[in-house]
A and B are shown apart, each in its own frame.
Chain A
């Protein structure tokens, strides 16, 4: 037997394994560094005034109140618009049209919408809402965000309803329950935590979206909850402030970035915990 063949194989394996360990190390270190810098810069600027004061003019102190309120408002409206549509569409695909061709077409298109560039969504809403209305507005921003919510909710609703055991449906049918009532009172209830997870993930997804808001909601330096007027949001403020030459603004941009990251991480962890308990039970 030739020993050199074993040596070559062993050497190859050592190199590949080392590369694998190395890549994981570098990858995790890089991502840890991003979070580290973010937390360091963000926390050093965090104070109560961030939540109580408006975005300042350059050169003076201020907070992010109007941006936070704007973000929350638009996110809530986007969820209120997007969730029912997404849930109903997902329901059709999982319950009524499971074996129909239209469901696979919708699934395919939905998956593409799921990862379509969000700036294109902004352009779309600009064309269909901002141009006819004649001005930028908070409601246009909320609708743009809801276009991003819909595919996320469709996907999770369908997936979660698919996991509901058919015996439940059959049991409901055997006592003469109409299909719509079976879906609403049996299937939804069985899939509830999964669907809520999907909604939380959708919130996480849109809370950091900047591109679709740039030319729908635009920005507003002042406090406003008028949906018919331009509205500020955290991501857009971060974008504007980070690229500015003013140090106060850059500091606020870091703090805003920290707030977004913490909310997104918290939402993802809650969503994960919800599905986790469902699987365990």
Chain B
């Protein structure tokens, strides 16, 4: 038998009962620590469940009053207490879609630059800069959008768009109306700028996971940089890239502050991208503290529930796809 020694307390091997007691204490500590960590892990699950339940309970009054009409009508009238979520849902989807259409090609091209074209000594600084920018709070992008981007668009870009596309059949309705500055297009641009560092840094990580042998073999055959990207890197990383894009989309869908500043908060679906609109998160941020009446509050929580369900699905798909590429690499 050996001595049991821990933290200054020394129990000699000769004293059998003392020794058993000490061992028992250690075993008990082990069991307790195991139980505590396990319950903490379960708490994470509980957190997600709690969010779901709390939002569902909170939105019950609205959902029972309006039923399925809640997601198919677009009237939003606090006075008559008629609420429909179509306009914010549409706004959320359209702004995120436009943002991704802009940010994804940009992000992929920058990732291509960072992994294939950039000189070695410049890779780390640019990579770090992009990661730091991905961490900047969205309210910073929002305030910049409000004071810099919106006036700029109003003065220069939007009049030009209206003048250029005013007489083109389909596009004229997309760019109709006066240049407000704030509106769907501005919100989409801000979202795109905000998501860009995010998409870039994930795509770069995914591109970096391609085994160098594959790329070297392609270069050895005489492939150009573009051909290596197009026929080796992209096919190999397709799943991961889609996962990264979905992750960015999840961010864009739930983004609140960057959008709230510049969307204009109008509960109206307009065919024009220059018109003010609203998104789910902007509606909640703008109206929640001023909402009077249970039905109004409950409708806003129902909006939150819809947002949560949409982003949950998008993020789940994203994580699943990224998991698949991780498995292949590891």
Number of A-B contacts (CB under 8 A): 265
A134 nearest CB across to chain B (Å)? 14
Residues of chain B with a CB closer than 8 A to A96's CB: 34, 37-38
Q: Is B292 an interface residue (CB 8 A)?
A: no
Binding site for B on A (CB under 8 A): 9-10, 12-13, 15-17, 19-24, 26-28, 30-31, 33-34, 37-38, 41, 84-89, 91-93, 95-97, 102-103, 105-106, 108-113, 115-121, 123-124, 126-128, 147, 150-151, 154, 176, 178-181, 183-184, 201, 204-205, 207-211, 214-215, 218, 235, 238-239, 242-243, 250, 253-254, 257, 260-261, 264-265, 268-269, 272
- SS class of chain A's interface: helix, strand, loop or mixed? helix
* Residue contact B38 to A92, C-beta cutoff 8 Å: yes
Q: Is B76 at the interface (CB under 8 A from chain A)?
A: no
Q: B41, A120: Cβ atoms under 8 Å?
A: no
**Would you call A214 and B139 a contact (CB within 8 A)?**
no
Whether B58 is near chain A, meaning CB under 8 Å from some CB there, is yes
Question: Is B200 an interface residue when CB atoms closer than 8 A count as contact?
Answer: yes
Tell me, in angstroms, the Cα distance from A19 to B200 when the chains sit together: 15
Known A-B contacts: A16-B225, A87-B40, A179-B34. Give 4 more (CB < 8 A): A27-B110, A93-B41, A115-B247, A250-B147
CB–CB B30/A242 < 8 A: no
Judge whether A120 and B225 touch: CB under 8 Å: no
Is the beta-carbon distance between B257 and A37 smaller than 8 angstroms?
Answer: no
CB-defined contacts of A201 to chain B, threshold 8 Å: 135
A260 touches B254 (CB 8 A): no
A264 with B137: CB separation less than 8 A: yes
Verify if B106 is at the interface (C-beta below 8 Å from A): yes
Contacts of A13 in B (CB 8 A): 224-227
- Cross-interface CB contact of B285 among A85, A89, A119, A179, cutoff 8 Å: A119
Query: From residue 241 to 291 of chain B, which have CB atoms closer than 8 A to chain A?
Result: 247, 250-251, 253-257, 260-261, 281, 284-285, 288-289
What residues of A have a CB within 8 angstroms of the CB of B112 in the complex?
16, 20
Quick check: is B128 within 8 A (CB to CB) of the other chain? yes
B117 pairs with A183, CB closer than 8 A: no
- 23 A-B pairs whose Cβ atoms sit less than 8 Å apart in the complex: A13-B226, A17-B225, A20-B117, A30-B193, A34-B140, A84-B40, A88-B37, A89-B40, A93-B41, A97-B41, A112-B312, A116-B312, A117-B253, A119-B284, A120-B307, A120-B308, A123-B300, A208-B136, A235-B137, A239-B142, A239-B257, A254-B147, A265-B132
B40 lies within 8 A of A19 (CB): no
Shortest Cβ gap from B204 to chain A (Å): 11
Residues in B with CB closer than 8 Å to A272 are 128
Q: Which residue of A lies closest to B301 (CB)?
A: A123
